[in-house]
Amino acid sequence: VDQSPIGKTARSNPASYVGAFDPVRKKFANTALAKERGYKPGTFSFNSGDGRCPTCRGNGFEHVEMQFLSDVYLRCPDCDGKRFRPETLEVTITGTWGARRSDDTPFPPMSIADVLELTVAEALRFFADSVDVLARLRPLSDVGLDYLKLGQPVPTLSGGEAQRLKLAGFLAEAQTQSDRSRKARCGTLFLFDEPTTGLHFDDVARLNGAFRKLLAAGHSLVVIEHNL
């Protein structure tokens, strides 16, 4: 697990990487308005389906190739970067009763685009009563990535953030496995290449906590590190 980029596609984000986007889309599909219109979880995907913006195909931007300069990314003029059709954004969900933002204001009803703009810390409060969503999002907080937005494109992450996101993916997988499947599966040997580079002391402590969770799940770790 090194600091190499996770991927080059802007469609991948922290929520989809740890598997939290699937239960979130199911919550939207279970609303009364979505059922009335016949919307399925796939409607709330920006990778495929009829719910995404047809102009940018769910990217939220248009890619303009420049011949002698770096390529330019322009915000989609039709969806204004929200990735979805207006009728898809009419479907909203409400958060946990009494949940508030970091500025102590209550959460309004949110569309799928609004949810993707939440930070991990805000999403943990908004979905506090959704066990399946929390099980996938908590590993992001455990490795110190609670400031990232759920919909932030993975290619924009730094090397250290990408490394911790990989770790969060394994933690999410370990937390959502049943005891029987965890015992039946052999542990994985992880090799970490200087995972504390650029981290604050508090983040190093959180990283050690994430390591202990991997060990508790039956995995083994080899950590190459200069930080005593």
- DSSP H or E segment with residue 203: helix 201-216
Q: 189-211: string of b/e by CB count within 10 Å (b at 16+)?
A: ebebeebbeebeeebeebbeebb
pTM beyond 0.85: the answer is no
Report the number of secondary-structure helices (H) and strands (E) in the chain: 10, 4
Residue segments in the chain with a per-residue pLDDT below the cut of 50: none
How confident is the model over 117-166, as pLDDT tens digits? Answer: 999 999 999 999 999 999 999 999 988 899 999 998 888 888 788 888 98
Q: What is the pLDDT of residues 47-56, one digit of tens each?
A: 888 899 988 8
